[in-house]
Homo-oligomer: A and B are copies of this chain.
Amino acid sequence: MKRLIGLLLLLSPFALAQTRPDDGYRLWLKYDRIQDAAKRTAYNRSAQFITMNSDHPTLQAAADELKMGLAGLLGQSIPILDKAGTRSGGIILEVATHPDAILKKQNDEGYVISKLQNNTVISGNTETGVLYGAFDLLRHLQTGQALDLLPSAGSPRVKFRMLNHWDNVNGTVERGYAGESLWKWHELPERLDPRYRDYARANASIGINGTVVNNVNASARFLTEEYLRKVAALADVFRPYGIRVYLSVYFAAPKTLGGLTTSDPLDPQVRQWWADKTKEIYGLIPDFGGFLVKANSEGEPGPQDYGRTHANGANMLAAALKPYDGVVIWRAFVYKADGAADRFKAAYEEFVPLDGQFDPKVIVQVKNGPIDFQPREPFSPIFGNMPKTPLGVEFQITQEYLGFATHLVYEAPIFKECLESDTYVKGKGSTVAKVVDGSLHGYENTLMAGVANTGSDRNWTGHPLAQANWYAFGRLAWDHTLSSEAIASEWAKMTLTRDPVAVGRIVNLLLKSRDIYVSYNAPLGLSRPWTGEHFAPEPWQNRSSRPDWTAVYYHRADSVGLGFDRTATGSNALAQYRPEITQAWNDPATCPLPYLLWFHHVPWNQKLSTNRTLWDELCVRFYTGADSVSWMRQEWAKVKPAIDPETFANVAARLQIQQREARWWRNAWVLYLQTFARQPIPEPFSKPEMTLEEVKESVRVYMLR
């Protein structure tokens, strides 16, 4: 009986974990018990104990994670021992004092997993490497792989793998759709929400090693001692997980905080103020990562306010950081309010001439596309064109233009599409990925940043399947050669179900989701048909405080046709690319259809490569896109038996919303464009069930205060 009570206490938590509804809090680190007893036994034989060769907090974190993970997966409490001694069948965590040849090939954050005297040894060049190895081993077990196919070695391809949180000091999140900010500023530094540690665990598990905790539209509050202490408390929680904290800075802080009369980056007092402030920060956060800056963009202050360049501004901050390990990340997201200019060209025109002028501590962070995270954009022409300046890429994980938290859009294909684009700057094969990972131009400071989709919602991301986007970003920042499919598959197995048929369906759903979204939202290279809050369709929008903040600026619909002429007859933005691209895209007949209206004003009756006219092709895409959401719902319904009921119902309801909204988008576009094209909806599609006026009326709801 005693033994049975022991069993009872031991098993109950895991039994329960599988019977309670899953609220999504645990993300992909679920560690539910493996149902296959044989597999459990096999794993068990190699997990008799855990030991480590130092008491470094990061090794402790790795051991704790393994202990927790194995307790869940195997239903066994695995002891953490001081020393392995002569024991075998355990897991040894060690920073290698004498790294072997394989480990030597890995970088600072790399690891090797090997079998040695019947122990599984995770060795790293640093403690963080060991931690990454531990998560890799857990992922191996979570995804049900065999132990004789142990992951052998790993090393990140990019140095700075970061989340950018657009979190405001008042707790709101700009473009956040999953609740409030994770950071409780009024509670810090005294109270540490247990969630902070779980945030760090989740990030470390996918290799993210940096976090910018505040919005790029930065509050100067974060540079006050009071707030720096709060940030330092977060940094203390994140540190064992290999995550460094960065801050977005308000460029005018020397004036507003420091009481100076200027924030001119060449002014000695201003430079001294930043040097002093930086020293203060490092006093509180010894491993502070550095500054992220949005300057002279959308109303933010910057060096141009004083007739200085972006390089002047960035280099001033680099000088302040000189005594320390930190970097300056300077965003290239800039464009002036000039309706006659082409916003597409702005960032290139401002930044490319500055190549070679930046301090080595500066990384320029470039959005994946030339405009602003649209559902489909060509890659930014800046990539490849600043060989002397480390260029990081900025992706947006949060679904600002992708249906908030009610549309399913798996983003790995978006990230991959950019990374695999060929810039041709050093001939064929000069992909954006090779620019970003430094291999093309020899950058040492390489960077991939993702604007986070996390918030205070219990499941972190609002839409349960949007967790896959956070996951995919991290995995690609670690290794951009991973396929969208492989990432989706491992995520689904860890997060949703181990049923292989269901996993197959879910992966298929994820992989198709982005194209479906683009079809009903912005096909053939349309972009930016949004209301102010980027939720509802408003392609007819033609008034705004800035000309480039209207919808008509982007699609340029008229009685002749549709699209923005960016060839030599138009803005000539195409000339910012290498000739191989310019030539291929310059002709509407050879320009890839997804980018067609990005570069061409195409007549409504122009025949496309699909053998349909532009108008007909648009209708086909809008209608089949919206209809595909029904297919998504059907596919999701089929996985019901394999999915936790609460998660299933949650996703099912969101797909229902998505279907309603997809039709809304289709109706808005089709009815509006029809006023220019003056043609009927082609067979076999039926007329929208609403009039244009009714759609406009429904959109006006979202503009009421």
Contacts and interface: CB of A to CB of B under 8 A. Distances in A.
B653 A190 contact: yes
A85 interface: no
Contacts of A171: 179
A12 B9 CA distance: 8
Contacts of A575: none
A653 B698 CA distance: 47
Contacts of A705: 219-220
B177 A186 contact: yes
A449 to B, nearest CB: 24
A650 B191 contact: yes
A457 interface: yes
Contacts of A11: 8, 12
B701 A194 contact: no
Interface stretch (A14-22, A59-67, A366-374, A679-687): A14-22
A666 to B, nearest CB: 18
B187 A654 contact: yes
A257 interface: yes
Nearest to A191: B653
A406 B221 contact: no
A101 to B, nearest CB: 45
A458 interface: yes
B191 A654 contact: yes
A226 interface: yes
A323 interface: no
Interface in A637-673: 646, 650, 653-654, 656-657, 660
Contacts of A657: 186-187, 190-191
Nearest to A19: B13
Contacts of A220: 704-705
A460 interface: no
A183 to B, nearest CB: 12
A221 B456 contact: no
A517 B688 CA distance: 61
**Oligomer: number of copies:** 2
Contact of A226 (B187, B221, B698): B698
A142 to B, nearest CB: 22
A194 B13 contact: no
A180 interface: yes
Nearest to A656: B190
Contacts of A172: 172
A187 B653 contact: yes
A25 to B, nearest CB: 9
A319 interface: no
Interface string A238-259: 0000000000000000001100
A218 to B, nearest CB: 9
B406 A701 contact: no
A281 B194 CA distance: 43
Nearest to A463: B187
A224 interface: yes
A190 B405 CA distance: 13
A196 to B, nearest CB: 13
Contacts of A221: 701-702, 704
Contacts of A660: 190
Contact of A12 (B8, B192, B704): B8
Given A657-B190, A701-B227, A16 B21 contact: no
Nearest to A657: B190
Contacts of A13: 12, 16, 19-20
A404 interface: yes
Contacts of A38: none
A4 interface: yes
A20 B20 CA distance: 13
Interface string A194-222: 10000000000000000000000001110
A530 to B, nearest CB: 15
A257 B404 CA distance: 26
A457 B181 CA distance: 11
A506 to B, nearest CB: 19
Contacts of A4: 4, 8
A430 to B, nearest CB: 41
A180 B456 contact: yes
A219 B180 contact: no
Contacts of A15: 8-9, 12
Contact of A456 (B7, B20, B256, B457): B457
A704 B194 contact: no
A657 B654 CA distance: 40
A192 B654 CA distance: 10
A221 B699 CA distance: 11
A653 B189 CA distance: 9
Contacts of A656: 190-191
A21 B13 CA distance: 12
Nearest to A654: B191
Contact of A646 (B20, B177, B194, B646): B194
Interface string A73-106: 0000000000000000000000000000000000
7 contacts: A9-B15, A12-B15, A191-B654, A191-B656, A221-B702, A256-B704, A458-B458
Nearest 9 interchain pairs by C-beta: A191-B653, A12-B12, A190-B656, A190-B653, A221-B704, A220-B704, A224-B701, A190-B657, A180-B180
